[in-house]
Structure 1
Amino acid sequence: MTQQSSTRHSDTFAVVTGGTQGLGMAIAKRLAQDGAAGIVVSGRDPEKGRAAAKDISSLGTDCRFIKADVSRVDECELLIQKSIDAFGRVNALVNSAALPSRGTLLETTPELWEAHMNTNARGPMLTMKALVSHLKETGRPGSIVNIISMAAHCGQPFLTAYSTSKGALVTLSRNVANAYAADHIRCNGIMTGWMDTPGENQTQQDFHDAPDDWLVEAEKGQPMGQLVKPDEVAGLASFLLSPESGVITGSIIDFDQVVRGAYPTSGR
Structure 2
Amino acid sequence: MGLLDDKVVLVNGGTQGVGAAVARAAVREGAVVAVTGRRAEPGEALVAELTAAGGKALFVRADLADAEQPKAAVAEVVAAYGRIDCLVNAAGLTSRGTLLDTTPELFDQHVAINLRAPFFAMQAAVADMVAREAPGTIVNVITSSAHGGQPFLAPYVAAKAGLVGLTRNAAHAHRFDRIRINGLNIGWTATEGEDATQRTFHGAGDDWRERAAARLPMGTLGRPEEIADFVVFLLSERSGVVTGSVIDWDQNVLGGLD
SS at match of 2:217: coil
- AA aligned to 1:188 is N
- Matches of residues 90-239 of structure 1 in structure 2 within 5 Å? 90-239=84-233
* Identity within the alignment, %: 43
Distance 1:60 1:158 in 2: 43
AA in 2 matched with 1:147: V
> What do the CA deviations read for 1:121-157 (whole angstroms, capped 9, x no partner)?
0000000000011111111100000000001000100
Asked if 2 retains the 8 angstrom alpha-carbon contact of 1:16 and 1:28, the reply is yes
Whichever residue aligns with residue 219 of structure 1, its letter is: A
Which stretch of structure 1 is more off in the superposition, 19-28 or 57-66? 57-66
Q: Structure 1: how far apart are the matches of 2:121 and 2:141? A: 13
The residue identity in structure 1 corresponding to 2:185 is: M
The 8 Å contact of residues 26 and 231 in structure 1, kept in 2 or not, is answered as yes
Q: SS state of the match for residue 87, structure 2? A: strand
State the one-letter code of the partner of 2:39.
D
SS of residue in 1 equivalent to 2:26: helix
Q: How far is 1:232 from its partner?
A: 0.7
What stretches of structure 1 of length at least 5 have no aligned partner?
1-5
Aligned residues: 258
Are the counterparts in 2 of residues 29 and 59 from structure 1 also a CA contact under 8 Å?
A: no
The yes-or-no answer on 1:31 pairing with 2:47 is no
Match of 2:2 in 1: 7
User: TM-score, normalized by length of structure 1?
Assistant: 0.95
Give the RMSD, CA atoms, in angstroms.
0.8
TM-score (norm 2): 0.99
Deviation at residue 59 of structure 1 after TM alignment: 2.8
Deviation at 1:58, TM superposition (A): 2.5
Report the equivalent of 1:22: 17
The correspondence for 1:84, drawn from 78, 87, 98, is 78
**Which residue of 2 is the match for residue 3 of structure 1?**
none
CA apart distance, 1:57:
2.0
In the alignment, the residues of structure 2 paired with residue 105 and residue 56 of structure 1 have an alpha-carbon distance, to the nearest angstrom, of: 42
CA distance in 1, matches of 2:175, 2:250: 27
User: Tell me, what secondary structure is at the counterpart of 1:189?
Assistant: strand
Following superposition, the deviation at residue 30 of structure 1 comes to 0.4
Shift of 1:212: 1.1
Q: Which runs of 4+ in 1 moved over 6 A?
A: none
What is the match of residue 64 of structure 2? Answer: 70
Find 1:42's aligned residue among 23, 36, 44: 36
CA–CA distance in structure 1, aligned partners of residues 250 and 41 of structure 2: 32
Unmatched segments (≥5 aa) in structure 2: none
How big is the shift at 1:70? Answer: 1.2
